[in-house]
Structure 1
Amino acid sequence: MHLFKQQGLSGEEQSRTPIPVIDLGRYLAGEPGSREAAAAELRRASEEVGFFYISNHGVPEELVERAFRASQAFHALPMEEKLSIKVNENNIGYLPMAGSLAASSTVHKNTKPNLNESFFITHDRPADHPDVIAGKPLRSANQWPPSPPATMREDMVSYYRAVHGLADRLVALFAASLDLPPDWFDASFANESNATIRFIHYPPQDVIEENQFGSAPHTDNSFLTILARTEVPGLAVRLTNGKWFIPPLIPGTFLVNLGNILRRWSNDTYLSTPHGVVNDSGKDRYSIAFFHNPNPQAVITPVPTRVTAEQPVQHEPALYLDLALAFYRANYLHQKRPAEAGA
C-alpha cells in the first residue's frame, strides 16, 4: 500500500470534500461587490486549505478538450522526435520519463525519480525576439517537434493564452484577498511573466514500489497553479491534519493551488499545500498544469498587510529569477551541475 492510502482519510472522511468551490462568474462579469465577495472566499481557502476549485472560469470546455487531445498526440510521438526537443536550461521542451526528482521537497524524503514524462511550453516567442536572441534566462522560445500532429501547436498555444488571461484575473483577486489594491502585483507580472504549461503523461504504475511516485510529494514553486485533469485518478493532497485526500473531479472546474512564491509573498500566511501523484489506476493518466509566476526580475518581498508583531518578516527580499533557478537545479536532473549529479 502506498503512502497516500496508508495515511489517507477514511471512506466517510473522503466523501466530505474539504476543498472549497469558488464561483468566479460574477467576478469575471464585473458585477458590483463581486470582487470583495470572491476575495473573501479566496482568503479563507488560502489560509485554511491552499487548494480550491474554480467554476464559471470562462475557459471553454471545448478548448480544454482540445488541449488534452494535443497532449495525448504529443506523447504518442516516436521517442526520437520527442528527444529532438529535449528540455533546455529554461525548462522548455520535452522532459523524458524519470527526468525529475523532488529533492527540494520538505514534505517527504524523495529518493526516486518521478514516473512521468512532460512537455513544457511558455509564451510562443518568435526566434527573433530580443530576449531569445540575447539568451536571457527564463525567456526562451518554445521548442516544437519536427513533425507536430495537426493543430497540436495551435491548440496548445490557444489553451495557454486563455488560461494565462484567467490567471492574471486571479492575481488581482489574490491582491484584494491580501487587503492590497487589485493592481498591487501588476508590475511584477508585466512584460511576459514566467508562465509555463506542463503537459504531463503518467503511465500506469503496475507495481507500486516503496517511495516510488508518478509525482513525489512536494509543494509547487509557483505563485499559483491551475490544473486540468481527466477522469483517471491519481492526485492526492495533504491536508493540514496530515492526512492525504483524493480530490474528486468536478466537471467544468479547474483545481487551483498556491505555490511557494505566493506563500513567500504572503509572509507565510497563505498555504503552499503538499500534493503528489500515484497512478495505480491501470490506465494512462494525463493532466495539464499551468504555472503562473512573475517576471524574472520581480523582487519577492512579504506584503505589508501580512507583516505584524505576531508575524514578523519571515523572508528577506529575493529575486524571482534566483528562486526559480535554484528550484530547477534542485529538482530537474538535466539542470544539475556535474558534481551534484554524481552526488
Structure 2
Amino acid sequence: MPVPVPPLGTFDHLPQTKEDLPWADLPTVDLSLYSNPANRLALANALITAVREKGFFYVKNFGVSAEAVDRQFALCKAFYDLPLATKMQYTNPDFAKGAFNGYMPMGRVVVDPNTGLKDKVEVYNIPSTSVLPDDVASLIMLPRKTTEFSSDFAHNHPEPVADSVAEIEGFVRELQTKIIEPLLTLVAIALELPEDYLVKLHTYDVKSEDHLRYMKCGKYSPDENARLAAWVPGHTDLGSFTLLFRQPVAGLQIADPVTNEWKWVKPQNGLLTVNTCDALQLLTGGYVRSTIHRVHPPPIDQQHVDRLGVLYFSRPHNHVGLATIRESPVLRREGYVKNPFEASGNPVPTMEEWTFAKQKWQRTGYLGPNSASKEVLPGFPEKVYT
C-alpha cells in the first residue's frame, strides 16, 4: 500500500552559479555496477582510492528518485517556514550535553568578532530509529520497532514533518539499503574483509545515532559575506558516511588533502555528494580519510537566497568500539594498525562515547574563544579549521 503523501507544493532548485570557481576534482562511483558481483572488486578499488585520496566523492545511479529527494527538500522548506516560536518547541533540553536530535536555532555564535554578527545556521535532526506507531509502520510494511528503542528515540515533530513520518522513514530506509550498505560492502571488499563485515556494524534496527538532517544556512548581505571566512567553520564529521543531496547554492568547500587549499564542491544534477568520516578513519587506523570541510559564503550570483540542505549521517551502532580493525590483511600489510587512541595508550571509545564527546565540544565550545585546539577525549586532539 503506498505511503500517504500530504500536499506540499513543489520545490524549485536555484540555477547553478555562473562563476568560475576553483572546483574540487572529485571521483564518481557508479552504483549501477554494484548489482553484478563481478564488478564489485573494481568498484571497491575505485572507492577506496577515492576515500583515501580525497575523502569526498560523487555517486551516480544510486537508486533513489529525484522526486523522492525533492520531496525531502520540500519538507525541509516547509519546516523552516514555520514560526520561530513553533520551531523552538522542538529544541533538545540536553543540547549542551551533546544531544543533537530536534531543532537547533541560529545565533549560537559570533561569526564576525568585529561587528558581533552571529551565525544564521539552523538544524533539524530526525533520528533514523524514531518509533513509528503500529498503524503507521504497517502502512509502509515495516516491522514494529522493539521496545528497546522507544525510550531512546521517541520524538515528536511539528507539522508537516509529523504528517510525513512514514514517508521520511521509507526514504531513510532506501538510503540505507541502496547507498550506505553498498558503500560499506565495497570498503570491506577493499580491506579484504568479509563483504558484510561493516554492514553488520551499521544495521538499521540496532541503536545508533544515524539521523536525517534538514539544514538552513540563512543569507547575509554582500557586505557581511565579504567579511566572513565561513558560514560553518572547517570540521570533520563524526560517523562513517555523510550523504549530501544536491544543494544548488554553492558553498561546500573541502580542504584539499594534498595542497590544503580550499576547493569548492560543485552540486551536480543526478549526483550525490558523499564523504567519509571519523568513525571509518578510526576503524581503519587512518587508512580511510575523514576530510575537513566547511560552508563558505556563496558566490555573488547566489547570495540572495537561503541555502537549504538535506543530509543523512550514517554511524556505527552505539556499542561499537572504535579500535582499528585487526582482521584486515590490507591494514596489517600497509601498517595501519593503530588509531590515535591506541597509539597514545588511552581507552578506545565506543561510537556513542565518541559521538557525544565531540558533539558536546561542537555544540558548546569549539566556536568559542578557546577553540583553537582541544582534547575531545584523552588521546584525540581536535581543532577548528579556517
TM-score by length of 1: 0.82
The aligned counterpart of 2:106 is 97
Determine helix, strand or coil for the equivalent of 2:281. Answer: helix
- Amino acid across the alignment from 2:338: V
1:197 aligned to which of 206, 212, 215: 212
The aligned counterpart of 2:121 is 116
CA contact (8 A) 1:101 1:333 kept: no
Q: CA 1:260/1:201 → structure 2, altered by over 3 Å: closer, same or farther?
A: same
* Aligned positions of 1:245-256 closer than 5 A: 245-256=263-274
The aligned counterpart of 2:68 is 63
1:223 aligns with 2:254: no
Determine helix, strand or coil for the equivalent of 1:318. Answer: coil
The alpha-carbon deviation at position 179 of structure 1 amounts to: 1.8
Determine helix, strand or coil for the equivalent of 1:220. Answer: coil
CA contact (8 A) 1:100 1:333 kept: no
1:125 aligned to which of 127, 131, 153: 131
- Calculate percent identity across the aligned residue pairs: 23
The aligned counterpart of 1:325 is 356
Separation (CA, whole Å) in 2 of partners of 1:322 and 1:48: 28
Q: CA 1:209/1:43 → structure 2, altered by over 3 Å: closer, same or farther?
A: same
* Aligned positions of 1:1-343 closer than 5 A: 14=22, 17-27=24-34, 30-89=35-94, 90-99=99-108, 114-122=119-127, 123-126=129-132, 130-133=147-150, 135=151, 139-145=152-158, 147-148=159-160, 151-165=163-177, 166-190=179-203, 191-206=206-221, 207-208=224-225, 210=227, 213-240=230-257, 241-280=259-298, 281-304=303-326, 305=328, 306-308=331-333, 310-314=335-339, 315-316=341-342, 317-333=348-364
Q: Deviations over 1:98-134 (max 9, x none)?
A: 34799xxxxxxxx99753101100122148953355x
Separation (CA, whole Å) in 2 of partners of 1:98 and 1:215: 12
Q: Deviations over 1:198-220 (max 9, x none)?
A: 11011112213756532111111
The aligned counterpart of 1:105 is none
| Number of matched pairs | 311
Separation (CA, whole Å) in 2 of partners of 1:150 and 1:189: 26
CA contact (8 A) 2:246 2:271 kept: no
Separation (CA, whole Å) in 2 of partners of 1:55 and 1:214: 28
- Amino acid across the alignment from 1:142: H
CA contact (8 A) 1:224 1:292 kept: yes
CA contact (8 A) 1:74 1:152 kept: no
**Aligned Cα root-mean-square deviation (Å):** 3.0
Separation (CA, whole Å) in 1 of partners of 2:355 and 2:117: 22
Separation (CA, whole Å) in 1 of partners of 2:164 and 2:73: 10
Determine helix, strand or coil for the equivalent of 2:248. Answer: coil
The alpha-carbon deviation at position 68 of structure 1 amounts to: 0.2
Q: Deviations over 1:302-325 (max 9, x none)?
A: 123314574441233321111011
Q: CA 1:48/1:101 → structure 2, altered by over 3 Å: closer, same or farther?
A: farther
Determine helix, strand or coil for the equivalent of 2:125. Answer: strand
Determine helix, strand or coil for the equivalent of 1:295. Answer: coil
- Amino acid across the alignment from 1:189: H
TM-score by length of 2: 0.73
The alpha-carbon deviation at position 23 of structure 1 amounts to: 0.5
Q: CA 1:176/1:78 → structure 2, altered by over 3 Å: closer, same or farther?
A: same
Separation (CA, whole Å) in 2 of partners of 1:334 and 1:50: 26
Q: CA 1:132/1:31 → structure 2, altered by over 3 Å: closer, same or farther?
A: closer
Separation (CA, whole Å) in 1 of partners of 2:322 and 2:109: 26
Q: CA 1:142/1:189 → structure 2, altered by over 3 Å: closer, same or farther?
A: same
Separation (CA, whole Å) in 1 of partners of 2:62 and 2:277: 20
The alpha-carbon deviation at position 153 of structure 1 amounts to: 3.4
Separation (CA, whole Å) in 2 of partners of 1:223 and 1:101: 30
The alpha-carbon deviation at position 175 of structure 1 amounts to: 1.2
Separation (CA, whole Å) in 1 of partners of 2:234 and 2:117: 11
CA contact (8 A) 1:265 1:303 kept: yes
Separation (CA, whole Å) in 1 of partners of 2:161 and 2:74: 10
The structure with more radius of gyration: 2
- Amino acid across the alignment from 1:257: N
Separation (CA, whole Å) in 2 of partners of 1:276 and 1:53: 17
